[in-house]
A and B are shown apart, each in its own frame.
Chain A
């Protein structure tokens, strides 16, 4: 077991960190190859994402998205289910938020927020329910079905936005803007009473705290409840869980419903917290970035917090790069892909030498 070869802290921090450094190193080579300066690019990304409260406003906004989708992937992964349908589940979640926000006259934002969380969660869970059922009952592989459902979700949203929810006078496939009372307080509103000045332009809002609370709740669910134990047992070994009387069908269904609901809740941030209306591409790939976040965070609900922050930084820094240099925003997709490759596929490449290193030190001691 790797846990014995290497102390736990090294497994949790050193492996992802070294993978990350390798990914950044390779990205720097790519930037050099397209004729730009990687040092300047790094500086631009850091100042753009973390150098001002405006940058932080966007970084934390994206972080909120990735916290939800990262959690969604993580909890499914605890049961060894690979939910790559976060994208579609979040799109449906957006539809749920839009329905609640457009058709019910809410007296204030926090009632609307609670309803939006519920609607987004329900819609996301409903979208995950079909692949989950197909996996639990029919054995259709969840990876295939969830990714297929992303395309169906996109087409469905496309249809609904173009035909049903688009205001008749508008030419843009998007819903009308939500009522102003539904505007979620942004970080600036939250921090002002504390005497901290924060830019009002960044869309980071109270949903960030909802996301952090969700991390704690998922942690408590996984490690402090019987259901959580069953989920983890099922993930470690299906036959053993079955032998212990744990229903595989129930676990697959419950885990995927929770996972879908978490992915769906992302839309509360990206629809209600940001643009205040549902646009075509509100998810912006966060469902897929959630996979990278979960891999980096070792699928641990608390571990994904720094991972989500890292990707929030990369996402915001990347859009700064696109403005300031000729480096396209897609550069971030390359970094992201490299992170997934190193932390996921090439995990052993970093782990094995590290383990050997630790063993060597221990042998000497």
Chain B
């Protein structure tokens, strides 16, 4: 106990000293790197937008291995970066340990919840966004069969799958949703070849719209779907531009907004759990020049109505992570 107190005093002093010297924000990207065309890249977009608008500068760091997480966070905190924003639930365990060591530094973790007074935990309601793109998939499908390709089989991805399946059913109660996961290890996030194989298998089962929620693996899913002439749905960032006219839409997770807000509010930001839901513009679906030909006025109207119903609370999309189960099988 005595040791801890001394320790806190010492770090507080260094943090204070460093804080006055430079208090640039810092961004830490998880494995996959900042140019993953998806989750991390969205965060990068937010950080860049902040830098462009304010003319400020920030530090950023990409993780190369699981073992570096603690050192990266400590190093940034020691050198006075504040606030420190990180992407991915994998930082949860590390942040729980180090947040108390740097009480004057504000941390923001995206996609995970850490209970500490100096941590803002940003979570997204992926099930709501997935519901909307599920509806679009259900309406766009001619065969009545749609696919879902998840990355690693973890509760977070099942939340995507469950929301998507509910959306499909809402648009077409007779639809059939095929759910597959790329794997059960972290390699599943970056295996575009396997993603493509799963997509081919789903196509042979009749799927004509495939939603990829699989990080780097999704690149293979979108490519295979485009090659086979069926529609696909991107995730996290707006991926419509990757195959114009072939990607039905992208389920947007506004990680960029979360980063932008954290950087803008700075070290004085409000900590605690920060839910970015549909009402707050945290999730949504992408409509741009690349997919406007694919979205009919009827589809647009139906999704707008569903969106309003979810925001008003009239429609409740079941969250897989609330009870680890889904009304529609997503195994």
* B-binding residues in A (CB < 8 A): 54, 58, 158-159, 162-163, 170-174, 177, 188-189, 192, 199-201, 203, 270, 274-277, 279-282, 284, 319-320, 322-323, 329
| Interface pair B11/A275, CB less than 8 Å apart | no
Contact of B67 among A54, A158, A188, A270 (CB under 8 A): A270
**Could you tell me the distance in whole angstroms from the C-beta of B257 to the nearest C-beta in chain A?**
23
Q: List 11 additional contacts besides A163-B184, A200-B11, A277-B93; criterion CB under 8 Å.
A: A158-B186, A158-B187, A162-B186, A172-B90, A172-B93, A200-B3, A200-B7, A200-B101, A276-B97, A281-B66, A284-B65
Q: List 16 A-B contacts (CB under 8 A).
A: A54-B78, A158-B185, A162-B185, A172-B93, A173-B185, A199-B10, A200-B3, A200-B10, A200-B101, A201-B74, A201-B78, A201-B101, A203-B70, A280-B66, A281-B65, A323-B76
Q: How far is the CA of A188 from the CA of B7 in the complex (A)?
A: 10
> Is B61 an interface residue when CB atoms closer than 8 A count as contact?
yes
Across-interface contacts of B152 in A (CB, < 8 A): 162
Q: Which of B53-69 contact A (CB under 8 A)?
A: 59, 61, 64-68
Q: How far is the CA of A189 from the CA of B2 in the complex (A)?
A: 11
Contact of A171 among B74, B75, B155 (CB under 8 A): B155
Across-interface contacts of A177 in B (CB, < 8 A): 93, 97
Q: How far is the CA of A61 from the CA of B148 in the complex (A)?
A: 44
Across-interface contacts of A163 in B (CB, < 8 A): 184
The 8 closest A-B pairs by CB, nearest first: A281-B65, A279-B66, A171-B154, A281-B66, A200-B7, A280-B66, A162-B185, A172-B90
Across-interface contacts of B186 in A (CB, < 8 A): 158, 162, 173, 280
> Is B51 an interface residue when CB atoms closer than 8 A count as contact?
no
B157 (CB) vs chain A CBs: closest residue: A171
| Interface pair B67/A279, CB less than 8 Å apart | yes
Summarize B's interface: helix, strand, loop or mixed: helix
A280 (CB) vs chain B CBs: closest residue: B66
> Is B329 an interface residue when CB atoms closer than 8 A count as contact?
no
Q: How far is the CA of A87 from the CA of B83 in the complex (A)?
A: 36
| Interface pair B67/A275, CB less than 8 Å apart | yes
**With known contacts A162-B184, A171-B155, A281-B66, A189–B92 Cβ distance under 8 A:** no
* A-binding residues in B (CB < 8 A): 3, 7, 10-11, 59, 61, 64-68, 70-72, 74-76, 78-79, 89-90, 92-94, 97, 101, 152, 154-156, 184-187
Q: How far is the CA of A38 from the CA of B305 in the complex (A)?
A: 60
Residue with the greatest number of chain A CB neighbours at <10 A, chosen from B10, B11, B71, B101: B71
**Could you tell me the distance in whole angstroms from the C-beta of B116 to the nearest C-beta in chain A?**
15
**Could you tell me the distance in whole angstroms from the C-beta of A277 to the nearest C-beta in chain B?**
7
A157 (CB) vs chain B CBs: closest residue: B185
Q: How far is the CA of A281 from the CA of B30 in the complex (A)?
A: 14
| Interface pair A274/B70, CB less than 8 Å apart | yes
Across-interface contacts of B65 in A (CB, < 8 A): 280-281, 284
Across-interface contacts of A200 in B (CB, < 8 A): 3, 7, 10-11, 101
B91 (CB) vs chain A CBs: closest residue: A172
| Interface pair A284/B184, CB less than 8 Å apart | no
Contact of B93 among A58, A174, A284 (CB under 8 A): A174
**With known contacts A171-B155, A172-B89, A173-B185, A319–B68 Cβ distance under 8 A:** yes
Across-interface contacts of A199 in B (CB, < 8 A): 10
Q: How far is the CA of A279 from the CA of B93 in the complex (A)?
A: 11
| Interface pair A172/B92, CB less than 8 Å apart | yes
Across-interface contacts of B3 in A (CB, < 8 A): 189, 192, 200
Across-interface contacts of A158 in B (CB, < 8 A): 185-187
| Interface pair A275/B94, CB less than 8 Å apart | yes
| Interface pair A329/B89, CB less than 8 Å apart | no
Across-interface contacts of A277 in B (CB, < 8 A): 93
| Interface pair B66/A323, CB less than 8 Å apart | no
| Interface pair A319/B89, CB less than 8 Å apart | no
A276 (CB) vs chain B CBs: closest residue: B97
| Interface pair A319/B90, CB less than 8 Å apart | no
Q: How far is the CA of A173 from the CA of B75 in the complex (A)?
A: 24
Q: How far is the CA of A87 from the CA of B25 in the complex (A)?
A: 36
Across-interface contacts of A174 in B (CB, < 8 A): 66, 93
B74 (CB) vs chain A CBs: closest residue: A201
Q: How far is the CA of A275 from the CA of B71 in the complex (A)?
A: 10
Across-interface contacts of A323 in B (CB, < 8 A): 59, 61, 72, 75-76, 79
**Could you tell me the distance in whole angstroms from the C-beta of A43 to the nearest C-beta in chain B?**
15
Across-interface contacts of A189 in B (CB, < 8 A): 3
Q: How far is the CA of A201 from the CA of B155 in the complex (A)?
A: 33
Across-interface contacts of B93 in A (CB, < 8 A): 170, 172, 174, 177, 277
| Interface pair B66/A58, CB less than 8 Å apart | no
Across-interface contacts of B70 in A (CB, < 8 A): 203, 274-275
Across-interface contacts of B66 in A (CB, < 8 A): 174, 279-282
Across-interface contacts of A159 in B (CB, < 8 A): 185
B10 (CB) vs chain A CBs: closest residue: A200
Across-interface contacts of B71 in A (CB, < 8 A): 58, 319
Across-interface contacts of A171 in B (CB, < 8 A): 89-90, 154-156
Q: How far is the CA of A61 from the CA of B109 in the complex (A)?
A: 27
| Interface pair A282/B67, CB less than 8 Å apart | yes
Across-interface contacts of B101 in A (CB, < 8 A): 200-201
Q: How far is the CA of A276 from the CA of B97 in the complex (A)?
A: 10
Across-interface contacts of B11 in A (CB, < 8 A): 200-201
